[in-house]
Every structure is written in C-alpha cells, then in structure tokens.
Amino acid sequence: MPQFSSAVNRPEVHGHRGCRGLRPENTLPAFLHALAVGVDVLEMDVVISADGQVVVSHEPWLNPQICLDPDGQPIESSHIPRFNLYQMPYATIRRCDCGQRRNPAFPEQVSGPAYKPLLREVLTAVEAATRQLGQRPVGYSIEIKSSQEGETIYHPAPADFLSLVLAEVNAAQILPRTTLLCFDSRVLQLAHQQHPTLATCLLVEDNQPWTASIQQLGFVPTTFGPDFTSVTAAAIQQLRVDFPNLRLVPWTVNNPGDMQALYALGVDGITTDYPDRFCALFSPRE
C-alpha cells in the first residue's frame, strides 16, 4: 500500500484509548506504546472513583470481558454492571487487572498485567517518556464519560466532574495541549463558560445530525468528533460552510482503506485503535 508523503497536510493520528488494537486499552502500556509508534495525540477516557480520584477507564465499572475482580477472579457477565468504580476507592480499583485477558475483538493485542491508572500517573509517565525519546510534545484528548442517566450513579455532576479533571490537567501543565471531549453537551457548555480558551470536542453518534448538534451546543467547539461511518463528502462540505474553522476528527477508523478515504476527504485527524497502520501510510508530521 503506498505511503502519502505529505507530512504537513496529513491528518493527525489520535491513538484511541492509547492503542487498543495493540495493547490493553487505557493502560500505561497502551499509552507508552502509542507514543513510541508515533501518535500526535493520545485519546483516553476518564471516570471518578469513590474517593474522588480521576481514573483512566472507558466504562465506570469493570468490564467483564477484559478485567478481573479485586481478588483476581473473572467477573460474571450480567446486564447489571458489577463493580461500579464510582463506588470503589482507587486502592481497590488498582488491584483489578485489566490487561491479562486479551480483548477478543482485537486479536493483535499484546496482553500483559495492567491496571486502570490515575490520569495524573498517565500524564507523568507520558511526559517523561516523550523527553526520553526526544520527541515533540504529544497532545491529549481526554473524554469525560458523563451522561444525564449516569449522574450520581456512575459519576458526579458535570461541574464536579469537570473540576476534578481540570485540576489534574492544570497540575500537569498540559492545558494548552489538551482537548476536552464529551458526548454530554452539559459538560462542554460548562467548560466553555468557565474556560473559553479550552479546546473542546463534541462527540456524536452516527445517527445524530451534524449541524443541529453543534447549534444545540450553543457555541462552536474546537473540534467535531463524529462516527466515521457518517462522514461523506457532502457532509464535510456542508460542515465547512456552516463552521469554517471547526476541526473534524472522526472515530474510530481501523481499516487502512478507510484511512485513505478520509485523508482524501480532508479530515483534520483520525482516531484509531491501530496507529501503526496509520503511520505505515502517512509520513510523520513535521
């Protein structure tokens, strides 16, 4: 498959949950491997523990497919999520391995012992690794896993959630390189009100209209993140007319052919579980 030689104009590569196709998702091994592969941005999800710690995790509970319980035992699958992280102190969460059980959806994933790290731990490790590798600073896309249905059950209210996350971002001094992602418009609206210069990204599912979703938000975010299956030439053309300065970074793009197609359509970034596949196609950004 041919490489694209343009380093300046190529889309950014955003490592989804680090590099979920290659290492256990949202773990230190995933983020450090994605960094070594050459991502421009590390994408990650955050939830809150019972003791108010910002934990890197996609679900606010232990996923029985990929995690073991605090005693190292498999978790019985159920329609009712067990081990709600919002009801567990971080010391208990840290005992739960989420790396040894390879995700069945990602056969290339290299499994190994791994836990759900704190956000501050990830930021410290990545910043140190970047310096050690002599690489330019990486960007961070941090998704706040908030919903109206889950409020007070799986996470705090938007104001408290946002405050906890931004405290960690500010402490790590990475705010200028951070974009806050969310499907929950309330979080983004609050972030924009309190921190107008903070980069934000509205995430939408494939059945949500683009223009109407942005208009309902009440302001134009920095980035728009749709399901890549909803991306068409016509949709992009209309988006560029309605919101000329809005960046477009679709998710989650794992097929090299889809990556090439989106490049041709002029997206600004691509979120992928396989940043190695992306980097095999495109030259590094300068």
Q: pLDDT digits over 58-87, tens only?
A: 999 999 999 999 999 999 988 778 899 999
- Sign of the dihedral defined by the CA atoms of residues 22, 65, 169, 13, in that order: positive
For residues 259 and 277, is the Cβ–Cβ distance under 8 A? yes
Exposed e or buried b per residue across 70-103, where buried means at least 16 C-beta atoms within 10 angstroms of its C-beta:
eeeeebeeeeebebbbbebebebbbebbbbebbb
Contact 78, 109 (CB under 8 A): no
Provide the pLDDT for residue 8: 55
pLDDT exceeds 70 at position 127: yes
- Tell me whether residue 92 is in a domain: no
Give the CATH number, domain containing residue 18.
3.20.20.190
Q: What does pLDDT average to over the chain?
A: 95
What is the CB neighbour count within 10 angstroms for residue 219?
A: 13
pLDDT beyond 90 at 33? yes
Is residue 48 assigned to a domain? yes
pLDDT attached to residue 110: 98
Mean pLDDT of 189-207: 97
Using alpha carbons, select from 248, 146, 140 the residue that is nearest to residue 189: 146
Q: What is the pLDDT of residue 9?
A: 77
Residue 4 falls inside a structural domain: no
| Spatial separation of the C-alpha atoms in residues 23 and 111, rounded to whole Å | 6
The yes-or-no verdict on residue 6 having pLDDT over 80 is no
Looking at the domain assignment, is residue 228 inside a domain?
A: yes
* pLDDT reading at 1 higher than 60: no
List helix spans (H) across the chain.
Answer: 28-37, 90-94, 119-133, 158-171, 185-194, 210-217, 233-242, 256-265, 275-281
Query: Is the alpha carbon torsion for 275, 279, 281, 284 positive or negative?
Result: positive
Kindly indicate the confidence band of residue 286, based on its pLDDT and cuts at 50, 70 and 90.
low
Whole-number pLDDT of residue 108: 96
126 and 27 Cβ atoms separated by less than 8 Å: no
Mean predicted confidence (pLDDT) in 35-50: 98
> What are the tens digits of pLDDT across the range 234-257?
999 999 999 999 999 999 999 999
Would you state the structure tokens that stand for residue 210, as one six-digit string?
């683009």
Domain ranges, residue 266: 12-61+116-281
Cα–Cα distance measured from residue 252 to residue 232, given in angstroms and rounded to the nearest whole number: 15
pLDDT category of residue 3 using cuts at 50, 70 and 90: very low
Report residue 5's pLDDT band, with 50, 70 and 90 as the boundaries.
Answer: very low
Is residue 3 one of the residues assigned to a domain? no
pLDDT for 96 beyond 60: yes
Backbone angles phi, psi at 140, to 5 degrees: -125, 130
Q: Does the residue 120 lie in any domain?
A: yes
- Total tally of structural domains belonging to the chain: 1
The pLDDT of residue 281 is above 60: yes
Q: Is 167 helix (H, G, I), strand (E, B) or coil?
A: helix
Does any domain span residue 219? yes
Q: What is the per-residue pLDDT for 284? A: 72
State the pLDDT confidence band at 4, using cuts at 50, 70 and 90.
very low
- Contact (Cβ atoms closer than 8 angstroms) between residue 199 and residue 180: yes
Answer whether residue 79 is part of any domain.
Answer: no
Mean pLDDT of 173-179: 98
